[in-house]
Chain A
Amino acid sequence: MPSILRTARANRWHYAYLFILPILALFGLFRIYPSIQTLAYSFFDINLVSKVFKPVGLKNFLLLARDNTFQKAVGNTVIFAVWIVVASTAIGLVLASLFTSKMRAAGLFKAVYFAPFITSTVAAAVVWTFLYNPRFGLFNSLLQLAGLPTRGWISSSKDALASIIIFSIWKTIGYNMIIFIAGLQNVPDSFHEAAIIDGAGGIRRFFSISIPLVAPTTIFVVMYNTILALKVFDQVFVLTAGGPADATTVVVLQIYKQAFENYRFGYAASMAFVLFVLVISITILQYRLSRRWETSF
């Protein structure tokens, strides 16, 4: 009997595989199979009403390369992802540092910052459409009270993407904060005590001890937020539907529009495949960079 099989039998690996088989089967059925099917669809023109599948080769991908709106969507998605990852990670880490220190009512503040994360994105976005209203919204009212010029927010093509980014940061900092709290709590107190003895202040300890020692947590938060940000849809659909004038269109929204508004399922599938390649590439790159960063500490 080959050695690997002997080892497997000795370690009873077959039981382990048997236990994870159901979840692997579901993963295959609901994740792997649809992904392969989507790639296959991208080589067809599809009419789901008449059930006609016409093979078109690489035509959908060639059209994609010339599609200005899709290129704008990719650009907007990348800009959105960069802002969300950087801002919500940084703010989450700062908040976590504050709330792991012994401050009063830390529990209450944690709940307040975490609440947006557990709120339905669609419901929250609907409320924010009123907050962003240029005529009677709260934000412009506050700007007027402060004597500042009002903004168009989601009605203005210049402000709309920033408005969605602000909403998304508000929505995600709570989750990042909780993850970082868990990470910071694993940093031994002795490191901080030693640093205090050596005369290091709070900020110095934050940059020299907390940040390096929560590197694994930071890597996870960055990768998780990157993947989520690249797939953004809900808040864009509710707040602006990709407008005004495609100013906030993102990749997943374009996939939705091509599939369900223009009935071009094959073309939408080609976009979905491009997004899949983009997400996988960025994730692999981040993973490789993070391994280097981790080992340097």
Chain B
Amino acid sequence: MRKALLCLVLLLLVPALLVMAADKKKLVFWYPAGEITATSMPFRDGSNPWAAFEAANNCQVEVVAIDYDTMQQKVFTALAGGKAPDIAMIDFSWMGGFIKDGALAAIPDADAKAWMSSVSPETVAISDWGGGKMYGFSTWGVDAYALTWNKEMFKEAGLDPNVAPKYWADFRAYSKKTAVADSSGKLTRVGYAIRHLGQPHGIVDKWHWLLVGAGMQLNTDPFALKGGSSKINTADTRAGLQMAHDMVWVDKSTSLDFPDPRQCLLTKIASMQISELVSIQVRAPKEAPDLQWGFAPPPAMRAGVDPKVQVAAWNYSVFNQSKEKNLALKAVAWFNNQVNDYTQAKKYNSTPRYKANWASDPFVSAPNTKAFMDLLKYATTYPRSLALNGILDAVGAAVPKVLHNEAAVADALAEAETKANEAIAAVQ
């Protein structure tokens, strides 16, 4: 009798528990694995930044790490198969392609308006997809591409450790002075660490300062989703890319044999590199606590020409395929609210997005805040073109060809311009 009663209770209890569990909604969130972006730290350090949202909304956010080099393909494949995640961190350079295919959900107008009126100007610049329309919230720790250098290495080479090279000619000279080779002539330390392999968009990011600094226009109409044209093969861009080539093969102040530029700076095998400032800011305290480093705008082409600081960010975007789209939109709005922005930017030693947070400590009185604001005076962003994917692929293929002596500068840039314009024509 007792056994029968126990079985009855279990028979009633188990389905009830299953029903209760099923009531809990689930959101799937994808982010790029590894050290690709410092802004994924909240998902890598063992904390659960979604905990408060989960508790308040009786839901569960499943956090999934995806390899960066194949993430764009995996997202697209998931979309094609109808199995897209609810939310994903999307690289800014991918967004045009996803928007073109109708994959990303637009942020509700009210949320977009509130965001645009509350955040700093560079965040507005990278959030606006035309007429105040947003397709995601950009992350804290905006990617501002700065020149970072090892002050001790500058001092060792007889250079002022607090002053960065201002123009291309100085930059090239600094690279030669700070490179170190062994007795056989093999570089043990590069003057300037370069990116020459891997994802084409990543390559364009790392060389944006040089190419756009030389006047390259990825799209002559930067806010048009369709139309415009690419101007890539100009005399100045050829001169810039030739300089990069000559730094490898003539000056031998840099090399194709060294790893990722950020890694090179942090492991002290490079004296200079140009990449996302936030990466060094967040990683240096843990990976190179004794590194004395400085940052400044990348070198400009010559006097009278402004340097170019590429500004971009990953975005928290929601997919139209999401079965819990409203909940997902609520989740990204919550994750990127002013309180979370302050908490995370402070926790990870980074920069916030909201104007009110910039006006608060520790950000307002941080020693580097003024230098960072000076950097942002020269901010440029990628064009909004739906063909951006194809344009960046074209340029990102040309740079390694030149650096590896696979093509002459003029030929590589001419080919890139043709392919970029074909990509633009394909989305008419």
Residues of A within 8 A of B (CB): 47-50, 68, 134-135, 150, 152, 155-157, 241, 243-247, 260-263
Contacts and interface: CB of A to CB of B under 8 A. Distances in A.
B69 interface: yes
Nearest to B72: A261
A246 B257 contact: no
B404 A262 contact: no
A157 B77 contact: no
B406 A49 contact: no
A52 to B, nearest CB: 9
B389 to A, nearest CB: 7
A49 B101 contact: yes
Contacts of A245: 397, 400-401, 403-404, 406-407
Contacts of B79: 48-49
B259 to A, nearest CB: 8
Given A49-B102, A244-B404, A245-B407, 9 more contacts: A48-B80, A135-B257, A135-B258, A157-B404, A245-B400, A245-B401, A246-B406, A261-B393, A262-B390
Given A156-B256, A246-B397, A49 B103 contact: yes
A90 B401 CA distance: 35
Contacts, number: 63
Given A49-B101, A243-B197, A157 B397 contact: no
B73 A156 contact: no
A262 B389 contact: yes
A49 B400 contact: no
Nearest to A49: B101
Contacts of B406: 157, 244-247
B196 interface: yes
16 contacts: A47-B101, A48-B80, A49-B80, A49-B102, A49-B103, A135-B257, A157-B405, A157-B406, A244-B400, A244-B406, A245-B401, A246-B401, A246-B406, A260-B76, A262-B390, A263-B97
B198 interface: yes
Interface size class of B (residues with CB under 8 A): 20 to 34
A241 B400 CA distance: 13
Nearest to B81: A48
Interface in B356-412: 389-390, 393, 397, 400-401, 403-407
Interface of B: 69, 72-73, 76-77, 79-80, 97, 101-103, 186, 196-198, 256-259, 389-390, 393, 397, 400-401, 403-407, 415
Contacts of B196: 244
Contacts of A50: 101-102
B410 to A, nearest CB: 15
A157 B196 CA distance: 11
Nearest to B256: A155
Contacts of A244: 196-197, 256, 400, 403-404, 406
A47 B386 CA distance: 14
Contacts of A243: 197-198, 400
Given A50-B101, A68-B415, A246-B397, A263 B257 contact: no
B121 to A, nearest CB: 33
Contacts of B258: 135
In order of increasing CB-CB distance, the 9 nearest A-B pairs are A48-B80, A134-B257, A157-B404, A49-B101, A245-B400, A245-B401, A260-B73, A245-B406, A245-B404
A155 B393 CA distance: 20
A137 to B, nearest CB: 10
Contacts of A47: 101
Contacts of A150: 186
Contacts of A68: 415
B257 A155 contact: yes
B273 to A, nearest CB: 16
A50 B196 CA distance: 34
B316 to A, nearest CB: 20
A157 B257 CA distance: 12
A34 B80 CA distance: 17
B181 to A, nearest CB: 13
Instruction: From A68, A150, A246, A261, name the one whose CB has the most chain B CB atoms within 10 angstroms.
Output: A261
Nearest to B255: A134
B393 to A, nearest CB: 7
A141 to B, nearest CB: 13
Contacts of B76: 49, 260, 263
Contacts of A155: 197, 256-257
A135 B269 CA distance: 11
Nearest to A63: B422
A243 B196 CA distance: 10
